[in-house]
C-alpha cells in the first residue's frame, strides 16, 4: 500500500542586513529541535504567502517585515510529510528582532552557514541560494 504524504506549505524570510543574514534556532520542544532555519512557518488555510510570512515573523521575532520577491522554492520529503518551502527576500519594516518564539537568533555571514546545523529543507534552500550543489 502506497501512503500519500501530506504536503505542508512553508514560507521563510531571507533578511539581509549589512551583508549578514538573520537565522533563527528552533525551540528544544519543536519538531527538529534546536536546528537553525530562516525565520518563517506554515501557511494556514485562507492565507497567501505574504500574509503568512508577516504573521510568522511577527510571532517568532516580534518585527514587521516587508515581503519582496520569491528567491527560491524547494520540496523536501520528511518521514511523515513533505515540506514545500518558499523563500522570500524580506526587509524589516519595523522593530528590532527579539527571541519572542524562537530559542535564539543570529545575524551571520553566508560563509558561516556551515557552522550551524540547519533543517534539511533550509539546507537545500541555502545550497540553491549560494549556487552550491
Question: Would you state the pLDDT for residue 133?
Answer: 44
Confidence of residue 95 (pLDDT cuts 50, 70, 90): very high
The mean pLDDT of 108-132, rounded to a whole number, is: 82
Closest of 40, 49, 47 to residue 68, by C-alpha: 49
4 falls in which pLDDT band (50, 70, 90)?
low
Nearest CA-CA partner of 36 in 48, 23, 20:
23
The rounded mean pLDDT for the chain is 91
Residue 132 reports pLDDT greater than 60: no
Question: Could you tell me how many helices (H) and strands (E) the chain has, helices first?
Answer: 2, 7
Beta strand pairing call for 104-109 and 36-37: unpaired
- Spatial separation of the C-alpha atoms in residues 33 and 28, rounded to whole Å: 5
**What is the rounded CA–CA span in Å between residue 75 and residue 30?**
20
Cell 505574504: give the residue: 50
**pLDDT, position 37:** 94
- Tens-place pLDDT, residues 21-75: 999 999 999 888 999 999 999 999 999 999 999 999 999 999 999 999 999 999 9
All cell numbers assigned to 20: 549578514
3-state secondary structure 103-117: CEEEEEEHHHHHHCC
Cα gap 66→15, rounded to integer Å? 10
Mean pLDDT check: name the lowest of 58-62, 85-89, 99-103, 123-127: 123-127
User: Grid coordinates in use for 56?
Assistant: 510568522
**Strand, helix or coil for residue 125:** helix
What's the Cα-to-Cα distance from 7 to each of 12, 67, 85, rounded to whole Å? 16, 23, 10
Kindly state the percentage of the chain with pLDDT values over 90.
74
Amino acid at each position: 500500500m502506497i501512503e500519500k504524504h501530506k504536503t505542508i506549505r512553508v514560507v521563510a524570510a531571507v533578511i539581509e542586513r549589512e551583508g549578514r543574514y538573520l537565522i533563527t534556532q528552533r525551540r528544544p520542544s519543536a519538531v527538529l529541535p534546536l536546528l537553525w532555519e530562516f525565520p518563517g512557518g506554515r501557511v494556514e488555510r485562507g492565507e497567501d504567502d505574504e500574509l503568512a510570512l508577516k504573521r510568522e515573523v511577527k510571532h517568532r521575532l516580534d518585527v514587521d517585515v516587508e515581503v519582496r520577491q520569491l528567491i527560491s522554492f524547494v520540496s523536501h520529503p520528511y518521514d511523515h510529510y513533505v515540506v514545500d518551502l518558499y523563500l522570500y527576500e524580506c526587509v524589516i519594516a519595523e522593530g528590532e528582532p527579539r527571541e519572542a518564539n524562537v530559542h535564539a537568533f543570529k545575524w551571520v555571514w553566508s560563509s558561516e552557514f556551515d557552522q550551524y546545523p540547519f533543517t534539511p529543507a533550509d539546507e537545500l534552500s541555502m545550497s540553491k541560494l549560494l549556487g552550491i550543489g
